[in-house]
Homo-oligomer: A and B are copies of this chain.
Amino acid sequence: MSPKPDADSVRTLGILAGSGTLPRAVAQACAARGIGVFVIDLGGAVGDWARDFPHERVAMGQVGRVLALLTREGCDAVTMAGGLVRPSLTGIRFDRQGLALLPRIARLFRSGDDGLLSGVADMFEEKGFPVIGPEAFLPADLARAGDMVGQGAARDDIALGRSILDALSPFDIGQAVVVADGVCIAVEAAEGTAAMLARVEDLRAGRDGGGVLVKMPKRGQDTRVDRPAIGPDTVRAAAAAGLVGIAVEAGGVIVLEPGRTERCAAEAGIFLHGFAR
């Protein structure tokens, strides 16, 4: 395989897009940088914003169709962005090329979300489409170590959150928890961070809260896919849930629109902290 291009050398990026704000941010950032975009809406998870870009909806399992679309549109790289709730294997209607890959896909299905996404990334690369993490196209930095916004606080809750995520790491579950006063009140799995924070907001129903969002990558996570990220939306959701701060692994978690994210945190009065692995 030829060496992977960096984002600046990509001419047209195929975005395999799920739900959430990340795929749209990637598409808009590419447009601003003069990189062409083709959005593949996986199973209808993508919002109306896709209408602003060349796009096509495909059902899960339409592997041959996706490869044909990427070729037709002249994509020279692919990124996978956004959330997907994986269907059951028996619920997928595979096309002919998908069926040929079925034994391999069936094996991947047993290997957790991260294993599945990694395996899908490998398949695209074998077909000649390098897979690049979405953050390469975004105004984003990896989290810095230390206090990014506000003063160090809630150290015990951060330590407990890290211990819980470490204990969950072998099981390929979520990448985030909410801990308050020594108690874990929410664990993220397939619903994603935004839904978890909305749940904490509901549970508290406006009562006094406290607590910290702790987010870090799983051990051995494939950074081409599914790298954990925070951004202005995360900060707003954490503040709405009554949290006092957000702690992320320095060098492991993406901060989208870092300047705006830090301003949001400062305005909301919540801290942003990066801990070393």
The interface of chain A, by Cβ under 8 A from chain B, is 85-91, 109-113, 160, 163-164, 167-168, 170-174, 177-178, 180-191, 195, 199, 203-205, 207-210
Contacts and interface: CB of A to CB of B under 8 A. Distances in A.
A199 B190 CA distance: 10
The A contact surface, by secondary structure, is mixed
A185 B85 CA distance: 9
Contacts of A191: 186, 199, 203
B207 A91 contact: yes
A188 B187 CA distance: 7
14 contacts: A85-B203, A88-B209, A88-B210, A111-B182, A113-B183, A160-B171, A167-B168, A171-B184, A172-B183, A173-B184, A177-B189, A185-B189, A190-B203, A199-B199
Contacts of A181: 86, 88-89, 109-110
Contacts of A199: 191, 195, 199
Number of copies: 2
A181 B182 CA distance: 33
A177 B164 CA distance: 15
Given A167-B168, A168-B187, A186-B191, 4 more contacts: A85-B205, A112-B182, A172-B184, A178-B189
Given A167-B171, A168-B164, A87 B207 contact: yes
Contact of A86 (B173, B183, B187): B183
A87 B211 CA distance: 11
B186 A189 contact: yes
A167 B86 CA distance: 24
A180 B189 CA distance: 12
Contacts of A112: 182-183
B180 A184 contact: no
Nearest to A106: B181
A244 to B, nearest CB: 10
Given A110-B182, A112-B182, A181-B109, A87 B187 contact: no
A177 B188 CA distance: 11
A38 B274 CA distance: 50
